[in-house]
């Protein structure tokens, strides 16, 4: 059954087979994942059990130091294992990961969820074979201090060769090795501390954002006042013809995903540092692949996307290193960058200044405050990309402010 039909039937029967198929089909391509294959013979009754399953996940939960939670397992001897299990028929991959993390401790909250490998377990009985397809993920524990370590059926372990030697499953051992390499890469690019502050603040203000989306946007900051039709026309012209697109910091904004549907863009990825924001959009846009990275550490291959898109992301960067890191990462993974950034409200003045001070910061508790003016924005973009790309600037004004637009297309593309 093709994925489009699967997605259509998911809506009818409230299932997730299509969504999970898309994730398994595309994650390997998106992340260039290593495939781990294990073959084994089983009994007749075990093979009957095997036929009931198809997809499963493994989960590497780690803390800020890189310590990993390992399950305590017992066979003939005591050994370590990774938590995991089959994906149920009524849940997505991400629902399964959340369920598995909560089975360790109901208080655990995870973030930075990222696949590290695909796994194929090939089971055979006599002449018959059946394959279970798995994805191994790594996820940062956001609230380790809230868990009672003494009550866990396992522990957070500082990885060394001796402890890894007590992991008996071949796939789990290889996943741990891949995790170590990726963790080193993440730490070299970003310390992630600002990220946790922003995520926590957004989650605490979630009801305020719901009020903003349901009432303020519909009754006060309407599409007409925000000139959404004109803005849509500008962006459509800049992304038209793209066959792939990533929004590197989507939040809960549906604009680019609705536009991607209208333009029939084949491959669309939405990324955000907040797991909860990603999950909200995931329920609405089944055809979109959602990922959960700090934009500074996005691991995708060079030139994977036709367009990297970001809207009002730059003023959330806490320092120059992070700002440069986001822009360089966008340039690396795509052929064109499209940046929309609101000009410093203090310099715009008037209604935009009041909205930012009293509504977005005062009421909604928006964390971002590293605003640029027109001159600074153009200087930043030209300094970084002027000798490597064709750069075009545009502007768009509405009731909320002056939006600076940069279209950056790699030379030779």
Q: Is residue 194 part of a domain?
A: no
HSE of 291 in the Cβ direction (CA atoms, 13 Å)?
25
Alpha-carbon dihedral sign for residues 216, 219, 224, 230: positive
287/220 same-domain check: yes
The confidence score (pLDDT) of residue 82 equals 94
Any idea what the CATH number is for the domain that residue 222 is in? 3.40.50.150
The confidence score (pLDDT) of residue 46 equals 92
Q: Is residue 196 part of a domain?
A: no
Helices 320-333 & 374-385 angle (0-180, nearest 10): 50
Task: Provide the domain limits for residue 145.
Answer: 3-189
- Choose the final residue of a domain: 164, 189, 214: 189
Q: Is residue 199 part of a domain?
A: no
The confidence score (pLDDT) of residue 351 equals 93
The whole-model pTM stands at 0.86
Any idea what the CATH number is for the domain that residue 142 is in? 3.90.79.10
Q: Rounded to an integer, what distance in angstroms lies between the CA atom of residue 259 and that of residue 235?
A: 9
Helices 93-104 & 17-31 angle (0-180, nearest 10): 90
174/319 same-domain check: no
Give 151's contacts (C-beta < 8 A, 6+ positions apart): 105
> What backbone torsions phi and psi does residue 343 show, to the nearest 5 degrees?
-70, 150
The confidence score (pLDDT) of residue 3 equals 64
The confidence score (pLDDT) of residue 284 equals 85
Q: Is residue 113 part of a domain?
A: yes
356/298 same-domain check: yes
Which segments of the chain have a pLDDT < 50?
Answer: none
> What backbone torsions phi and psi does residue 54 show, to the nearest 5 degrees?
-140, -55
Contact predicate 85/100, CB 8 Å: yes
158/291 same-domain check: no
- Three-state DSSP class for residue 289: strand
Total domains present in the chain:
2
Q: Is residue 152 part of a domain?
A: yes
Q: Is residue 305 part of a domain?
A: yes
Q: Is residue 198 part of a domain?
A: no
156/269 same-domain check: no
278/304 same-domain check: yes
The confidence score (pLDDT) of residue 194 equals 52
Give 60's contacts (C-beta < 8 A, 6+ positions apart): 68, 69, 82, 116, 136, 137, 138, 139, 175, 176, 179
């Amino acid at each position: 059954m093709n994925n489009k039909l699967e997605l259509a039937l998911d809506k009818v029967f409230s299932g997730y087979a299509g969504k999970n198929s898309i994730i398994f089909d595309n994650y390997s391509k998106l992340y260039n994942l290593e495939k781990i294959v294990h073959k084994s013979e089983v009994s007749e009754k075990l093979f009957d059990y095997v036929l009931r399953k198809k997809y499963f996940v493994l989960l590497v939960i780690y803390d800020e130091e890189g310590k990993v939670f390992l399950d305590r397992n017992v066979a003939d001897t005591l050994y370590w294992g990774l938590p995991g299990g089959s994906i149920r028929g009524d849940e997505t991959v991400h629902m399964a990961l959340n369920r598995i993390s909560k089975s360790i401790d109901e208080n655990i909250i995870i973030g930075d969820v990222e696949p590290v490998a695909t796994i194929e377990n090939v089971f055979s009985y006599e002449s018959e074979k059946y394959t279970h397809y798995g994805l191994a993920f790594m996820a940062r524990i956001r609230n380790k201090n809230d868990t009672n370590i003494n009550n866990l059926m396992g522990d957070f372990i500082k990885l060394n060769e001796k402890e890894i030697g007590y992991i008996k499953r071949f796939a789990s051992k290889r996943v741990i090795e891949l995790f170590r390499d990726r963790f080193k890469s993440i730490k070299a690019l970003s310390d992630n501390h600002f990220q946790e502050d922003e995520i926590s603040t957004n989650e605490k203000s979630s009801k305020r954002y719901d009020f903003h989306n349901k009432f303020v946007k519909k009754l006060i900051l309407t599409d007409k006042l925000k000139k959404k039709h004109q803005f849509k026309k500008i962006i459509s012209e800049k992304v038209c013809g793209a066959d792939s697109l990533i929004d590197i910091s989507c939040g809960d904004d549906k604009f680019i995903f609705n536009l991607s549907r209208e333009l029939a863009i084949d491959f669309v990825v939405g990324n955000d540092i907040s797991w909860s924001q990603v999950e909200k959009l995931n329920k609405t846009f089944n055809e979109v692949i959602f990922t959960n990275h700090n934009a500074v550490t996005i691991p995708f291959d060079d030139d994977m996307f036709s367009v990297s898109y970001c809207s009002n992301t730059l003023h959330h960067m806490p320092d120059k290193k992070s700002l440069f890191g986001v822009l360089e990462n966008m340039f690396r993974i795509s052929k064109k960058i499209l940046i929309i950034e609101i000009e410093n409200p203090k310099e715009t003045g008037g209604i935009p200044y009041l909205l930012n001070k009293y509504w977005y910061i005062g009421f909604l508790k928006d964390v971002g405050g590293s605003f640029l003016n027109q001159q600074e924005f153009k200087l930043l973009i030209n300094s970084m990309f002027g000798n490597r790309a064709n750069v075009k600037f545009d502007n768009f004004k509405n009731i909320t402010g002056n939006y600076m637009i940069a279209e950056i297309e790699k030379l030779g593309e």
